[in-house]
Structure 1
Amino acid sequence: MSSASLPAPATFLDKVLVSRFPQEVAKRFVFPDGEVGALYTLGHDAVSSESRPVILIVATFPPSSPQEGLRDFGIDYLQKPVASPEEARRLLDQFGPAEAAQFRASCRPR
């Protein structure tokens, strides 16, 4: 698939950042080479194998091929567990452009 046929990052995040919770709460921050989106949704606990409410933070970057045969699709994410919709709303209210930039900077180097 050529890069010309890949969806734009905004299109990708539109498809990925979908919540099944009522009163969906989401934020998006656009950067010159990608985006950061944050959403209250269900995540997966790797230890217990159970679903749990989380703030899902997703960062997109330009895809790259760091090594022969390997492909980095330019996506990093973090799940922050939350106890209630109120806690999720409070955390998302505090999540602004500076926090989005900080999250992108904390992602693996490109």
Structure 2
Amino acid sequence: MKKLQAWNEAQAQNQKLRHKRFEQCKGLLFWVGGWVGSGHSGIFFFISAMLASATFAGVSIINLPTNLSCPDPKSLCYLVFQMRFNNKSVILPQQAKDIIAEYERNKSKPKRRR
């Protein structure tokens, strides 16, 4: 009999906890609904979307060119393009001369046929 009474008390306690959680959830849903309906959410989502778009555009613009020639290692061009995913493709003037010389050497060599 005592076990049955303890079980009934535990069930009543669980029922009270479930009702309390339900009321908290309902209050939160009403608050979210009021926030969405107030217009502040639209401003927040608009600003968030603009920031995400600007970030995506910036990353795309930085990584779009396959090779980039910068005039000097101290220039803004060189500093910005060090943030590229493949920053090995940033070419400085002294590297450009080496690349052209290597191209000229390879151009004059006969190509092997397999």
| TM-score normalized by the length of structure 2 | 0.21
Question: Could you say which structure has the higher helix fraction?
Answer: 2
Structure ranking higher on relative contact order (CA contacts 8 Å, 6+ apart): 1
Greater percentage in strand = 1
